[in-house]
Amino acid sequence: MTHKGTATFIAQRTSAVILLPLAVWFLAGAVAHAGATYNEMRTWLATPLNAVLMGAFLLAGAFHMRIGLDEIIDDYIGAGARGILKLLNFFAAAGAAGLAVYSLIAIAA
């Protein structure tokens, strides 16, 4: 036992609380720009506030995803495969976050 349950629980709940207002902002922006052209969306994302909020949404989402999948791996995968799957989960989440932020920068720039 590593006794990391409390830290994981707090991190999962904290990321969920951070994601709540960001998800509301994202959905409001998506609804407000329904039918917008690509260039209109680029202009919207290029504003500093929207770019920072989108980056925070993407990074918090990737962090939340990693924690959740780690919990599933801990609960349902045997000890033999657990380590490699948790490592793959880490790199998948880091890769997804990196690609998402890179795409955001490319679109907003």
**Cα distances (Å, whole numbers) of residue 28 to 19, 34, 57, 103:** 14, 10, 13, 21
Tell me the CATH number at 62. Answer: 1.20.1300.10
Helix, strand or coil for residue 49? helix
Give per-residue pLDDT as tens, 7-54. Answer: 999 999 999 999 999 999 999 999 999 999 999 999 999 999 999 999
Number of domains in the chain: 1
Provide the residue range defining the domain that includes 48.
5-108
Q: Which two tokens stand for residue 83?
A: 């380590």
Give per-residue pLDDT as tens, 78-100. Answer: 999 999 999 999 999 999 999 99
